[in-house]
């Protein structure tokens, strides 16, 4: 949203005005809602949700949430860390709960994000912090079954690794499996005695290599 000139001059997104940036982004989306909605096949009725962090340097929810409500978004998804925090420390669910409070009396949904490891924990956090929904990101790495609370067998994990690798090569025929190594090894998370296997998986280049390692 900053001008190209500003980017060229090294202006960081974090130095820009967050509410002003959001205002511009939401207004642009709102003004193209009909177009986007028709593209998505829903007759111009496209719900707009905004996913953001609680602020740049410190929490800015008190200015941002009321603005987003006024701008007419249907859902706000909030990661409970600032931009500066990157992934350090813990997500501040107190701020997420406060943001939910700010949506009370409106139809805007407030979803929380940050450090959720299971559906059980997600349900507990919904009760504890009053949010309308929860997002899970990193805990789903190598564990897409998390959303069904299903514990896969080793055979199912192997099949998932192969399928994931095949899909990657299908969509990126210009690459080999090197960028996929970390994703493949994530499927071994929590498997006792898998250190040696993970070492071998971290060396695969082709699909044949992967098949051989998993054999």
Residues in contact with ligand FMN by CB under 6 A are: 51, 79, 113-116, 135-139
The residue among 113 and 214 lying less far from ligand FMN, judged by its C-beta, is: 113
The residue among 171 and 215 lying less far from ligand FMN, judged by its C-beta, is: 171
The residue among 189 and 199 lying less far from ligand FMN, judged by its C-beta, is: 189
- CA triple 60-61-67, angle to 5 deg: 105
Minimum separation from the CB atom of position 141 to ligand FMN (A): 8
Minimum separation from the CB atom of position 51 to ligand FMN (A): 4
Pull the structure tokens for residue 50.
């905004």
Minimum separation from the CB atom of position 29 to ligand FMN (A): 15
Torsion of CA 146, 125, 54, 23, to 10 degrees: 80
Minimum separation from the CB atom of position 112 to ligand FMN (A): 9
Per-residue burial over 166-190, b if 16 or more Cβ lie within 10 Å, else e, is: eebeeeeeeeebeebbebbbbbbee
The residue among 168 and 214 lying less far from ligand FMN, judged by its C-beta, is: 168
Minimum separation from the CB atom of position 105 to ligand FMN (A): 26
The residue among 78 and 214 lying less far from ligand FMN, judged by its C-beta, is: 78
Taking the alpha carbons at both ends of the chain, their separation in whole angstroms is 50
Minimum separation from the CB atom of position 13 to ligand FMN (A): 13
For residue 135, which of 122, 121, 145 has the smallest C-alpha distance? 122
Question: What is the 3-state secondary structure of 177-195?
Answer: CHHHHHHHHHCCCCCCCCH
Strand partners, 112: 78, 134
Dihedral sign for Cα atoms in the order 38, 42, 43, 49: negative
The residue among 93 and 158 lying less far from ligand FMN, judged by its C-beta, is: 93
């Amino acid at each position: 949203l900053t001008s190209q000139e500003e980017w060229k001059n090294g202006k960081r997104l974090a130095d820009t005005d967050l509410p002003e940036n959001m205002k511009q982004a939401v207004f642009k989306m709102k003004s193209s809602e009909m177009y986007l909605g028709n593209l998505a096949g829903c007759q111009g009725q496209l719900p707009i949700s905004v996913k953001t962090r609680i602020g740049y340097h410190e929490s800015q929810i008190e200015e941002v949430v009321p603005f987003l409500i006024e701008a007419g978004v249907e859902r706000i998804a909030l990661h409970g860390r600032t931009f500066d925090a990157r992934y350090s420390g813990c997500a501040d669910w107190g701020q997420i709960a406060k943001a939910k409070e700010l949506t009370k009396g409106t139809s805007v949904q407030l979803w929380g994000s940050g450090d959720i490891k299971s559906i059980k924990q997600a349900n507990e956090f919904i009760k504890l912090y009053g949010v309308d929904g929860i997002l899970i990101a990193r805990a789903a790495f190598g564990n897409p079954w998390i959303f069904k609370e299903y514990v896969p067998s080793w055979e199912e994990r192997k099949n998932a690794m192969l399928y994931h690798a095949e899909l990657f090569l299908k969509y990126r025929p210009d690459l080999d499996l090197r960028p996929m190594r970390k994703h493949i090894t994530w499927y071994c998370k929590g498997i006792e005695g898998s250190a040696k296997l993970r070492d071998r998986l971290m060396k695969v280049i082709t699909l044949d290599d992967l098949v051989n390692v998993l054999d």
